[in-house]
Amino acid sequence: MRLSFNELRWLKRAALDSNRPLESLVQRRINREPLQYIIGTQPFGALDLRVRSPVLIPRPETEDWVIRLAEHLCSSYSSRPISLLDLGTGSGCIPLLLCHLCPNIVATGIDISPNAVQLANENATLCGVPHSRYKASLCDFAHPGFPKAEAINPPYDILTSNPPYITSDEYLQLSDDVANFEDPTALIGGYDGLEFYRLIARLIARDGFLSPEAVVALEVGHSQADAVCDMLNPTGFRTSIWMDPWGKKRTVIAQRR
C-alpha cells in the first residue's frame, strides 16, 4: 500500500516523539496495521486516549453520540450524582469522556477482555479520572450471574454500550486493517449481529437494575436501530433513534415511559 502525505507526516512525528525508527513505523503501516495502533493514541472528544491491539479503536461516530449524550445528561441530572454502567467498555472511551464532560458521573466499566480492562484503567489514569469515578473490571454481562457480580452495584441511572454488532458474514468482508488487528469478540454480534442487544434487553427489564428515570444509550449497526427499538420497547422504555453525522441510524436511546 502507498502511504498518504498525512500518514507519513503523523508517522514522522510519532517516530520523533517516541524515539523509534521511522522505517519500522512505515513498515507496520505498509503491513496494514492501523495508524492509531502505530502512533499509540487516538483523540476522542477532549481526550487523547491510549490505544493498542487488540482493543478496538474508538470511532468518530461513537464520539459524536457520546458528546450529545453528555449534553443531555448534564441538563437532566444537574445537581446529583449519576451512576453509570458501561457494558463492553473497551478502551474506556465512552464512560471516560462522559466523566470528563459531566463532573457528577460515577462510572463502572466491564469487559470480558483482560487487555481491554487494563487499557481502560490506564486511560482513566492518563485522563485524570480517579478510580472513585471510573473503574473497569473483568466481567461477562452474558453470564446469568452477572447482576450479582462483585463489580456490579445497581441500580444505575445510565447504561451505555457499544456492543459487538457485526454479523459473522460481515466479519469475513472486513478490511485487513480491522480483521487482523482488532479483537473479533468485540466485533461479532452473532449470526445476525443482534445477540448482545437481546442480552441487554433482558438485563434492563430486571426489577431494580436501573433507576426509575434511567437512560439507556446503545450504539448500533447502520441497519439495526429499528430492530433494537423493537427489543427494548416491551421492557417499559420508550425509544428514539439518533442519526450520526453521516446520516446513519447510529444510536438507540431508551428512557422510562
More confident residue, 213 or 111: 111
Residue 141 has pLDDT above 70, yes or no: yes
Q: 23: Cβ–Cβ under 8 A, 6 or more apart, which residues? A: none
Q: Which residue reads 484503567 in cell numbers? A: 121
Residue 68 confidence class, pLDDT cut points 50, 70, 90 = very high
Give the pairing type, strands 105-111 and 237-243: unpaired
Residue 121 has pLDDT above 80, yes or no: yes
Q: Average model confidence (pLDDT) for the chain?
A: 95
Angle at 173 between CA 172 and CA 178, to 5 degrees: 90
Residue 256: predicted pLDDT: 83
Residue 146: predicted pLDDT: 95
Residue 77: predicted pLDDT: 73
C-alpha dist (Å) from residue 83 to 45, 86, 138, 191 = 21, 10, 19, 33
- pTM across the whole model: 0.96
Residue 78 confidence class, pLDDT cut points 50, 70, 90 = low
Question: Could you read off the pLDDT of 98-117 as tens digits, one per residue?
Answer: 999 999 999 999 999 999 99
Tell me phi and psi for residue 105, to 5 degrees: -85, 135
Residue 243 has pLDDT above 70, yes or no: yes
Question: Could you read off the pLDDT of 11-23 as tens digits, one per residue?
Answer: 999 999 999 999 9
Residue 38 confidence class, pLDDT cut points 50, 70, 90 = very high
Nearest CA among 134, 138, 131 for reference residue 115: 138
Return d(Cα 114, Cα 139) in angstroms, integer.
9
Tell me phi and psi for residue 246, to 5 degrees: -100, 15
Right CATH for 56-256 from 3.30.470.10, 3.40.50.150, 3.50.50.60, 3.30.70.100: 3.40.50.150
Residue 55: predicted pLDDT: 98
